[in-house]
Structure 1
Amino acid sequence: HVEMKDGRVEKITADRMISAVGVQGNIEGLGLEALGVKTDRGCVVIDGYGKTNVPGIYAIGDVAGPPMLAHKAEHEGVVCIEKIADFPGVHATDKLKIPGCTYCNPQVASVGLTEAKAKAEGWDIRVGRFQFAANGKAIALGEDQGFIKTIFDKKTGQLLGAHMVGAEVTELIQGFVVAMNLETTEEELMHTIFPHPTLSEMMKESVLDAYGRALNA
């Protein structure tokens, strides 16, 4: 029995059901309006350190907006407290460098800009792709369906984004997250030695493909 927004109740008969209602931060009844804390579409507006527009009030996690992920909330908490404590060297949270992982089958993982978003923002880009079917480890595991896609700024070689679908990509994505945080270029990734046989080799192959140099395509 499903109750609709207008109060109607509908009956649905099915063998299986998936509940995918999404996540929403709970900011109701906290007195934010009375304090003048700025909100936007049900989320508290913060800067990269968790600071709101009201001095002394900070927010992290789901109430502070998307992406609503546990690792994002944990990192925001550390950055927020370090900023409050005036910890030396604290860096603001950069949402573009937060990995997104979907634990389905096949797995999905990404970080940074999509190809469409990069184009929309005016980047002149190079795009590399590599299929799981051309990777020995993936074939040996019986997991040869999937791909890795990398997006670079054509002028500087800056890694703008990486997107993956396939076995264990929720583990592999962190390699690109580290690379983006270190401001790694395509040249540095090309000269990095990846162990063989591993799924991670596909990461390098995708980079090579963006520059027309893939070895095992």
Structure 2
Amino acid sequence: MASNDPEHSREEEETAAAEDEDTGAQVAPIIKLEEVSVTTGEEDEDAVLDLKAKLYRFDKDGNQWKERGAGTVKLLKHKETGKVRLVMRQSKTLKICANHLIIPTVIVQEYAGNDKSCVWHAADFADGELKDEMFCMRFASVENCKTFMERVQEIAESQKSTEDNKDASAAAGLLEKLSVEDKDGEEKAEEKSKEAKDEVPAAGKEKEPQSEDKEPVSST
């Protein structure tokens, strides 16, 4: 039953206010948590593409598509080497479900009957070992799918051009090395020929015999 005594009500309000009042006391934590740095392996790379998608892989044994995970697919370009890899992580667990390089032989094609999906082959390393996988990725829109396909093909072609330039440079370096070696060989051959000529005595010049001085025999 509620009390109608104003004095009693005032005492209750003062007690409640005292309980809510901050005393300013600080309680030290029982366990001290240390900050731990977390590395993702992407610190030396720049993201050139970042999209939401769902990934499937083709199960050869079961002859069917199996969901690999839904999350974010990224195309990461290494700051030093310039190589680009595809990495996809699941949204909730951040587990890697795709991890492979975009090499010149990668060809992305639209999945038959679905313009929001595309397929491609790759040597994937998501499970810790290289596996030849066939992937299918489904996007939320046709625009995202086209953007992904175009970007991957651009990177694959640029990687091919880079490799061609490296091969051409290597071939040019090899030819230059061979030219230098041939030139050095010719110079050494000329030097040997000259030395051989210097060692041969001039024609018509023979060594003169030493003369012996003999005293005349006197007759008696």
Please identify the structure whose Cα radius of gyration is greater. 2
User: Which TM-score tier does this pair reach, normalised by the shorter chain?
Assistant: under 0.3
TM-score after normalising by structure 2: 0.25
TM-score after normalising by structure 1: 0.26
